Structure 1
Amino acid sequence: MPKVYARRRLGVLAALTGLIASVGLLNGPTASAALPTPVSAATARSYLASLTVAAENRTGYSRDLFPHWITISGTCNTRETVLKRDGTNVVTNSSCAATSGSWYSPYDGATWTAASDVDIDHLVPLAEAWDSGASAWTTSRRRAFANDLTRPQLIAVTDNVNQAKGDQDPATWVPSRSAYVCTYVRAWVQVKYYYGLSVDSAEKSALQSYLANC
């Protein structure tokens, strides 16, 4: 075969291979960023020391004041994005709904194979944020908080565990899986520090106690 035709044939094969690969990436599971790692315990202790201590105020709270889930990319909203990020071998349909995969919940150590068994937890709950200063925010800032993929604020966990947590802070609730408690409280302090939220006295005392053992 003449060299010129051989080179053309190799070029065509390379192009076809690239096309097939790109189609496969579109139709198959896609890689996504990992859950953000919270700050170190030392940094969390420093952050905690600087947070304002204040009583909580629930007056006027409504979950609807924190718009979520918003569109992140294409047809994928925040919940769907976190499901893909935190899951293993997650496959989605054209609407970005997860049709298969598995999800490990670090709060309780359970693994689920149905997305319907998984909630996306706001680590610092929306009501807790409202009580701690978000009542004075603009809607735009509350939207950013409720859909924050940059800080360790959103995480896929067992649905009934998330529901049991509700709007509690670490003074009354931390994950039952002890190996994750340090990560949880470090993330809690990081989120509160970033958004300039206050802590109440019982919450601060609990956080200090947990962080002392991290």
Structure 2
Amino acid sequence: MRTRSGPRVAAVAFVAALSLGAAGCVPVPEQQGPPPSSDGNSVEKLGQLTVAEAGSMRGYSRDKFAHWRKTGKNCDVRDSVLQRDGENIKLSGCNVVGGRWESAYDGRSFTDPSDVDIDHMVPLANAWRSGADEWDDTRRGEFANDTDRPQLIAVSASSNRAKGDQDPSQWKPANRSYWCQYAEDWVTVKHHWRLTVTSAEKAALTDMLEGCTWANKP
């Protein structure tokens, strides 16, 4: 589990690097893991989420959540997250071609970037059923490429595909020591984007956050 201090300053630098990327290849500052989840009470934020039944998948398409956006010449958000979340990164231009990644979902380590997926913490299809069906494609693209929240994380391809579009009532990381972090990150993303939760999803998140002292601090 990553610590709750330190990366916040680096996260600001990471976002700045992405904003400059359109001008060319911009090295991503060294940073461990996605941006910090929140500076508030996760249990309180969970309580502020609207509980509703999951919406229909009618009209859904991943193409309505355009990703990955370019962050420089011949590189995109996927490359940037791989570089941010890995160690000993090797580049060919802007493309990540080597390094080391530890998947927080299952504790597995990889040195080949092709074995690593960039997971959307709140899956695109889940977002669609939670309110994103009412957004325009521009907002959906912002959501799909959100590096300001802990919405994007490099994990093992197998764990990402096992998760699919399931919420925490249906799937949890095999690495139980990551459950507190996972629940807080999920709540942070849904709270910021004003997405709904089902009653089962809220119950699962409540259970996962129970006993997480830093998730309940005022």
Q: Which residue is 2:82 aligned to? A: 83
Deviation per residue, 1:54-100 (Å, 9 max, x gap): 11112211111100001123332010100000010111112x22222
Q: SS at the partner of 1:90?
A: strand
Q: Which residue is 1:213 aligned to? A: 211
Q: Which residue is 1:21 aligned to? A: none
Q: Which amino acid aligns with 1:123?
A: M
Greater CA deviation, 60-69 or 31-40? 31-40
- TM-superposed CA distance for 1:38, in Å, is 1.2
Q: Which amino acid aligns with 1:88?
A: E
Residue among 95, 114, 117 paired with 2:115: 117
Q: Which residue is 1:105 aligned to? A: 103
Q: Which residue is 1:93 aligned to? A: 92
C-alpha separation in 2, matches of 1:149 and 1:32:
15
Q: Which residue is 2:166 aligned to? A: 168
Q: SS at the partner of 1:79?
A: helix
Q: Which residue is 2:59 aligned to? A: 60
Q: Which residue is 2:148 aligned to? A: 150
Q: Which residue is 1:18 aligned to? A: none
Q: Which residue is 1:139 aligned to? A: 137
* RMSD between aligned residues: 1.6
TM-score by length of 1: 0.82
- 1:30/1:146 Cα in 2 relative to 1: closer, same or farther (>3 Å)? closer
Q: SS at the partner of 1:167?
A: coil
Structure with more helix by fraction: 1
Equivalent residue pairs, number = 185
C-alpha separation in 2, matches of 1:93 and 1:75:
10
Q: SS at the partner of 1:100?
A: strand
Q: Which amino acid aligns with 1:85?
A: R
TM-score by length of 2: 0.81
Gaps of 5+ in 2: 1-24, 213-218
Q: SS at the partner of 1:174?
A: coil
Deviation per residue, 1:167-210 (Å, 9 max, x gap): 00000111110111100000000000000000011001111111
Q: SS at the partner of 1:187?
A: helix
Q: Which amino acid aligns with 2:181?
A: T
Q: SS at the partner of 2:102?
A: strand
Deviation per residue, 1:85-136 (Å, 9 max, x gap): 0010111112x22222111111111110000000000010000000000000
- TM-superposed CA distance for 1:39, in Å, is 2.4
Q: Which amino acid aligns with 2:63?
A: D
Q: Percent identity?
A: 48
Gaps of 5+ in 1: 1-26
Q: Which amino acid aligns with 1:148?
A: D
Q: SS at the partner of 1:60?
A: coil
C-alpha separation in 2, matches of 1:92 and 1:164:
29
C-alpha separation in 1, matches of 2:210 and 2:155:
26
C-alpha separation in 2, matches of 1:211 and 1:30:
32
- TM-superposed CA distance for 1:30, in Å, is 5.5
C-alpha separation in 2, matches of 1:125 and 1:32:
26
